[in-house]
Amino acid sequence: MVSGSNKMAEIMAAAIQLFKDKGYHATSMQDIADAVGLQKGSLYHYISSKEDLLILIIREALAQYISNLEEIARSNLPPRDKFAEAVRHHLKGIATNLGMLTVFLREAHALTPEQRAIVDRETRRYNELVEGIYQEGVAQGVFRPLNPKLVCRTVLGACNWFYRWYRPDGPLSLEEMADFFVDVLFRGIEARPAASETAPPGSGGQSAAGGSDTSAGA
């Protein structure tokens, strides 16, 4: 099992692409081997099992996510900016690592209970960071006092779903969409109504994506 090599990175990339496109179970080791130009047996120089590959992908997705959010949480920004940054970071993370995040968000349930437990723990940590930011805002009177878990789940739910419909070639830029999310989710939880009644972001565009994906919406 090698970890830093080039081939390893190739294998990871191929697996991410395939898992995203076909799903974890529907992807065979043969598929991955073909994608990187190896015999399927040769893959086992780099990984120890197919699940290992999934774990690697998910762990990396999580690690990137969390470390960035921790930085935001630790920063000196006022809560509203922290919150806005958290949402932007979340969406940007999905957009720039769409494959990895799709695999994480959709295939984590394929892990064995032991691995799931680890992932769950990390996920909970992420949620807690978001809740912390929210509660900071509540303490400072910036956010309405609501059930923090519920706030967190609502906001992150909307953000997570992003992976199901975001397409890099859609009509709206990532920036526009992030602005939109921040604006809308913000109003839902801020303590005082937004004073500014200027045109909100994203108000003019029509469609954020082609709309051809299975699951967006229902």
Kindly write out the interface string for residues 21-40 of this chain, putting x where it contacts DNA by CB under 7 A and - elsewhere.
------xxxx------xxxx
Closest separation between CB of residue 13 and its own copies, Å?
A: 20
Residue 175 exposure: Cα atoms within 13 Å on the Cβ side: 0
Helix (H, G, I), strand (E, B) or coil at 190: strand
Task: Name the binder of 111 from DNA, its own copies, none, CB < 5-8 A by kind.
Answer: its own copies
**Is 122 near DNA (CB under 7 A)?**
no
- Considering only 14, 16, 20, 50, the residue that binds DNA (CB under 7 A) is 50
13 sits near DNA (criterion: CB under 7 A): no
Question: 53 with 100: CB under 8 angstroms?
Answer: no
Rounded Cα distance, 150 and 137, in Å: 15
CB of 162 to DNA, least distance (A): 28
CB 72 within 8 A of CB 85: yes
Tokens 């900071």 label which residue? 136
Reading phi first (left if > 0) and then psi (alpha if -120 to 50, else beta), residue 217 is in left
Question: To the nearest whole angstrom, how small is the minimum distance from the Cβ of residue 150 to its own copies?
Answer: 5
Binding site for DNA (CB under 7 A): 2, 5, 7, 27-30, 37-42, 44-46, 48-51
